[in-house]
A and B are shown apart, each in its own frame.
Chain A
Amino acid sequence: MENKINYFYIILAIILLLFVVGILSLSFGSINLSPIRVLKILFFDQEVRQSLNVIIKQIRLPRVLLSFLVGAGLSIAGVVFQGVIRNPMVDPYIVGISAGAGTGVTIAIVLNLQISFLFFSTIPLMAFFGSLITVYIVYNLAKTKDKVPVVTFLLAGVAVGFVLNAIMSFFMVIGTRDLSKIVYWLLGSLSTASWHDIKLMLPYFIVGNFIIIFFLKDLNLILLGERDAQHLGVDVEKSKRFLIIGASLVTASVVSVSGSIGFIGLIVPHIARMLVGPDHKKLFPTAAILGGIFLIISDDLARILLAPMEIPVGIITALTGGPYFIYLLRKTKKEIW
């Protein structure tokens, strides 16, 4: 019972935090506004100056929203991959899944495969296939009998990542006219965020999350070991397949608009786990919101630190996440979960 109350307060607290961070992020920038004024613009349309209206609603709001979605998505993917592979050192970036999605996007840009059908466009779709193929390869490379050891998984991820980077470079050289576009995208940046980006990624993001939520309960049981899970009535192979597809969809949707932003999917699930424990029904929303907050703040720093110049946000997350990753590696496996 105590746990439930705790969980309720934790969720309430981080939602409040999200709101505060969101409003503050909308307030700061080249023109600083008071948070109250921002609220007025957002909710009461009480702004006479059209330019401010545009800045908040057309420039800053999509950027903050997209930061949230990207951060949440990467964290969710991290939670799922860590659960399925039963390995807390996994994150879409480290094991090359982001690189897989990136390769898909690069190919799409160079071969000019940008088509849109209904709400679904090809760039996230290519990213999805790229990430799915990468997961498949990395997972099977790392698998020994019925276990997926941490070390082999990381090594397989790094190795596949190298190959994918080579492929990306190759396509970049071929398609020189799109070079700047790709490089920009590769650095992992949210500076071009627009409502269009949100429209582009949202359908995949939603579908992916639906799949994950549908199989979320199984993830707790899989954590006990695949045999135990099966004995408790889980069709493990099926659940794993769908969870990986769902997480790949989410990763792909995110990567196709933001480029590869690293380490969020590693750090945030870990922090969330410390807060609410390993139960995925609690972990999933907690990690999602925390991930969103984390990226909104990172993006604020990216905008503010060297203003008016912008640092690609991937650099900020890597600078915080890298050391954290090393710290996790140093700890014994047991204590991480």
Chain B
Amino acid sequence: MLKLENIDFSYAKQKILHEINFHLKNHEFIGIIGPNGSGKSTLLKNVSKLLDPDKGSIYLDRNLLNDYSYKELAKKMAVVPQDTKVNFNFTVYDLVMMGRNPYQDRWGRISQKDKEKVKEAMELTDTAKFKEKSIKNLSGGERQRVIIARAIVQEPELLLLDEPTASLDINYQRNIFDLISDLNEELEMAVLAVSHDLNLISQYCERLILLNKGKIHSIGEVEEVITKENISDVYNTQVDIKYNPITERPYVIIIPRQKNNQKIKEHDFKVHLICGGGTGKDIMNILNDLNIGVSTGVLNRGDSDWEEAKRLNYEVVEIPPFAPIDEYAMQENKEKMKDADLIIISDTPFGWGNLDNIKVLANFEDKDILFMMNNDIEKRDFTEGKFTELYKKIKENNNVNEIHSHKKLCNFINTKYEGIFYG
């Protein structure tokens, strides 16, 4: 139905879309999600011929989009825009009839077929009851249904929707998406819908495209796209994924920043974080929210914790991918620990490769140390007991605390280091 090949688009030299490729099959329903400014709407405008891509080709039913006249295009593709405020006194009926424009001649004579199509569409969208009303006097949800009726009478094979429920209450959101879903299933229209509401669109579409900074970050079945990694990665926020028990579709829940959101007073309070394999990401984000300076190490380059630390501009003691910790890195790490007021050890497992991180800790007597303990210590030990032994030794010498969930981290820092925060 619709195929995009290597689409690039820029506004005034600023690249908005980069190498977009995807294929929308006949009768398929694809949702496009992504943060603000990721290029969702721009992508849709390229598809609807409002904007011309700088590079690449868009095919609609094997023909180039540019080869369609506006009139021919309007018979194949209908667009439901985001903002559908109509300030003019057109009746609902007249407005829906305008959808027949591509089928009418210059003088806009209305045929019997036009009338039938309009009647059908108005019944389908349940808008027949206010057919004589002025479009101005409808509520947002009613107006959007009228606009969808107008799209239906175009008899399109492809329906494009740009945030169709952006300003509507949830009852209307459901109502509109149910309607779109019917059009997709019963009238076999292919649907390409942009939405910033991940959860809403995920309940309806077959496949999802996740855009980030003008590129396709991921594309595929809803379950493949709505993952904790993808969403945290693209939206830079902490989320969790649950499953809707009825649709069995994934939905995203936001984890609010912990209640104590005071900013730190002095910047010389520092934390050194020992982590790896993604176990440190959440901790970094919590510390970042608290505005606390963090160093971390030793980490292998390419490790997901390493990536996050780089993203947050933390000092990282790093070694090549998969390499064991060398003497030099260990020394550097020791310096960082010395500077830190608190050393946090994430829930990461320990093997021979990263055990040196812990060994160093034994040198710092009286240093504040915090172990994250979501898992049993034995389960994290891949050193035949060496790690457990070290852990016990550290616990004897130092000022060691343990907490069992990330949620408590914030509270812990707040109570223990009360003086470092404002107010």
Where the two chains meet, the residues of A that have a C-beta atom closer than 8 Å to any C-beta of B are: 2-3, 214, 217, 220-221, 223-225, 227-228, 230-236, 273, 277-279, 281, 333-334, 337
From A2, which residue of chain B is reached at the shortest CB distance? B132
Pick from A223, A224, A228, A236 the residue with the most CB of B within 10 Å: A224
Query: Contacts of A279 on B, CB cut-off 8 Å?
Result: 90, 94
Within the complex, the shortest CB–CB distance from B316 to chain A, in Å, comes to 44
Question: Are B101 and A230 in touch, CB under 8 angstroms?
Answer: no
Which residue of chain A is the closest to B86 with respect to CB atoms?
A224
- Assuming the contacts A278-B89, A334-B87, A337-B87, asked whether A230 and B102 have C-beta atoms less than 8 A apart, the reply is no
In angstroms, how far is the closest chain A Cβ from the Cβ of B91? 8
Contact of B98 among A3, A221, A236 (CB under 8 A): A221
Interface contact B90-A233, CB-CB below 8 Å: no
Are B79 and A231 touching (Cβ within 8 A)? yes
Q: Which B residues touch A2, using CB under 8 A?
A: 132
Interface residues of B (CB under 8 A from A): 48-50, 69-75, 77-79, 81, 86-91, 94-95, 98-99, 101-102, 104, 106-108, 132, 136, 150, 154
Take A230-B50, A231-B78 as given contacts and tell me if A277 and B101 are in contact as well, using a CB distance cutoff of 8 Å. no
Q: 12 other contacts beyond A231-B78, A235-B69, A278-B89, with CB at 8 A cut-off? A: A3-B91, A214-B106, A230-B49, A231-B74, A231-B79, A233-B72, A233-B102, A235-B71, A277-B90, A279-B90, A279-B94, A337-B87
Q: Which of A227, A234, A337 contacts B101 (CB 8 A)?
A: A234
- A71 CA to B154 CA, complexed, in Å: 39
Q: Do residues B88 and A278 form an inter-chain contact, with CB atoms below 8 A?
A: yes
Report the minimum CB–CB distance from B54 to chain A (whole Å): 19
Chain A residues, CB < 8 A from B79: 227-228, 231
Are A235 and B98 in contact (CB-based, < 8 A)?
A: no
Minimum distance in angstroms from A240 CB to a CB of chain B: 13
User: For residue A333, which residues in chain B have a CB less than 8 angstroms away from its CB?
Assistant: 87
Given the known A-B contacts A277-B90, A278-B88, A278-B90, are A217 and B74 also in contact in the complex, defined by CB atoms under 8 Å? Answer: no
Q: How far is the CA of A224 from the CA of B81 in the complex (A)?
A: 12
Task: Report yes or no: B89 in contact with A233, Cβ–Cβ below 8 A.
Answer: no
Q: Is A235 a contact partner of B70 (Cβ separation < 8 A)?
A: yes
With A223-B88, A279-B90 as contacts: A232 and B81 at CB distance below 8 Å: no
| Residue from A228, A233, A235, A337 within 8 A of B81 (CB atoms) | A228
23 contacts across the A-B interface (CB closer than 8 A): A3-B91, A217-B101, A217-B107, A220-B90, A221-B98, A223-B88, A224-B86, A230-B70, A231-B48, A231-B74, A231-B77, A231-B81, A232-B74, A232-B98, A232-B102, A234-B70, A235-B69, A278-B88, A279-B94, A281-B108, A334-B136, A337-B87, A337-B88
